[in-house]
């Protein structure tokens, strides 16, 4: 794989005894600041628990519907 022009220039500056521009970069330029964390068993179970709580299946069993037959009469099913 070929070298880029910028890399060639940096290497030339180092060979000539000048400062390497890559040393001008801050300490945080090369670090990965994102935190990665695997969920614990408790967190996974909690997530599943809350998903099942919000499902509509449990609501349908307890719900009641009203249909309007005429203007003033309601029928409960």
How many CA atoms are closer than 13 Å to the CA of 6, on its beta-carbon side? Answer: 2
Q: How far is CA 58 from the centre of its chain?
A: 29
Whether pLDDT at 70 is above 60 = yes
The confidence score (pLDDT) of residue 53 equals: 58
Which structure tokens are listed for 48?
A: 């599943």
The structural domain count of the chain equals 1
- What's this model's pTM, rounded to 2 decimal places? 0.34
Tell me whether residue 33 is exposed, middle or buried, using C-beta atoms within 10 angstroms of its C-beta: 0 to 12, 13 to 18, 19 or more: exposed
**Could you give phi then psi for residue 19, rounded to 5 degrees?**
-70, 140
67 near 75, Cβ under 8 Å?
Answer: yes
User: What is the span of the domain harbouring residue 43?
Assistant: 5-76
pLDDT tens for 10-61 read: 999 999 999 888 788 777 767 777 777 888 888 888 777 666 555 555 555 5
The confidence score (pLDDT) of residue 3 equals: 92
The confidence score (pLDDT) of residue 65 equals: 61
């Amino acid at each position: 794989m070929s070298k880029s022009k910028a890399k060639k220039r940096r290497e030339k500056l180092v060979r000539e005894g000048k400062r390497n521009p890559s040393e001008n970069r801050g300490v945080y330029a090369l670090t990965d600041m994102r935190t990665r964390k695997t969920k614990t068993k408790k967190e996974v179970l909690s997530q599943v628990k809350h998903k099942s709580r919000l499902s509509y299946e449990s609501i349908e069993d307890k719900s009641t519907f009203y249909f309007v037959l005429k203007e003033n009469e309601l029928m409960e099913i």
